[in-house]
Amino acid sequence: MKEGKMLPIMEHFYTLQGEGVHTGMASYFIRIGGCDVGCHWCDVKESWEAGKHPLTDIDTLVDQATEFSKNIILTGGEPLMWNLDYLTAALKAKGCTIHIETSGSHPLSGQIDWICLSPKKRLLPKDEVVAKANELKCIIFNHHDFKFAEEFAARVPEDCELFLQPEWSKREEIMPKIVDYILNNPKWKVSIQTHKYMNIP
């Protein structure tokens, strides 16, 4: 487990990326169990306890995933809680492009082509992840979240794509505020959880 040859995998599946820059792109998701961030609005609370998810042989998982797609999305939970060197080397050996969705709260590991950073107030991202983010996706739950988003927009690389995404349970109330905000601050784009509208995972 230390070397990352076995990891607690909650689920893995072939679907369309629902959010952010790569919305609509067919991708294979690998959801790794374990998260110590504790967002109260988290929509995958079942992922938090790593021990609840089967320790899975990574070579077998990589064979299964690459039968479907060379576009891989590592998500969680918080995937950076684990050493991703072995998993990403095995995926790279098969010619995959590797994306990660992370809060950035743990050190980077592995060979990652696209970092989607979604910073969380309860456990702030590490500087090294902020400095390498390709996409910044800030969840808007209340008005203060716009300020939090701007703090990170000032720290990510200049070519980082900037997204504001309504927290799902408050989307009807928050969306008009996001639209207004983006009209006044057009460096941002809106991200919508399109997979929830399409009823796909």
DSSP 15: E
Stretch in the footprint of ligand SF4 (CB under 6 A) among 5-13, 31-39, 52-60, 170-178? 31-39
Strands 135-140, 161-166: pairing is: parallel
Helices (H), 39-80: 58-68
Q: Which two tokens stand for residue 181?
A: 């905000």
44 binds ligand SF4 (CB under 6 A): yes
Strands 6-16, 71-75: pairing is: unpaired
Stretch in the footprint of ligand SF4 (CB under 6 A) among 30-38, 63-71, 81-89, 168-176? 30-38
76 binds ligand SF4 (CB under 6 A): yes
191 binds ligand SF4 (CB under 6 A): no
Q: Given the complex with ligand SF4, which of 28 and 141 has the nearer CB atom? A: 141
Stretch in the footprint of ligand SF4 (CB under 6 A) among 37-45, 86-94, 127-135, 165-173? 37-45
Q: Given the complex with ligand SF4, which of 47 and 165 has the nearer CB atom? A: 47
Burial zone of 33 (CB within 10 Å; 0-12 exposed, 13-18 middle, 19+ buried) = buried
DSSP helix/strand/coil, 35? coil
Q: Given the complex with ligand SF4, which of 41 and 94 has the nearer CB atom? A: 41
Can you tell me which residue has the tokens 């609005």?
41
**Positions in the binding site for ligand SF4 (CB under 6 A):** 35, 37-39, 42, 44, 47, 76-78, 103, 120
